[in-house]
Amino acid sequence: MMENINDRLKEIQRNIDEMNIGDFYVISTDNAGNVVVAGSFDFSYYHNIEINFHKVSFVSCPISLFKIDTIRLASEEESKQLGDWSYGYHEGTVICLEDKVYKHKFFLACSNVTYTKRTVYYYKRNDLKHDETIANWVR
Classify residue 97 by burial, with Cβ atoms within 10 Å: 0-12, 13-18, 19+.
Answer: buried
1 has a pLDDT exceeding 70: no
How would residue 89 be classed by pLDDT, with cut points 50, 70 and 90?
confident
Whole-angstrom distance, CA of residue 125 vs CA of residue 51: 24
62 is a domain residue: yes
Residue 97 placed within a domain: yes
Q: What is residue 108's predicted lDDT score, i.e. its pLDDT? A: 96
Looking at the 3D structure of the chain, how many domains does it have?
A: 1
List, for residues 42-71, the tens digit of each pLDDT value.
Answer: 899 999 999 999 999 999 999 999 999 999
**What local confidence, expressed as pLDDT, does residue 4 receive?**
93
Instruction: Say if 59 falls within a structural domain.
Output: yes
Answer yes or no: is 7 within a domain.
yes
Could you tell me the residue range of the domain that residue 89 belongs to? 2-134
pLDDT band at 2 (very low <50, low <70, confident <90, very high): low
18 in a domain, yes or no? Answer: yes
What's the rounded Cα separation, in Å, for the pair 14 and 44?
A: 23
At residue 86, the pLDDT reads 85
Residue 139 lies in a domain: no
72 in any annotated domain: yes
Q: What number is the average pLDDT over the span 10-16?
A: 98
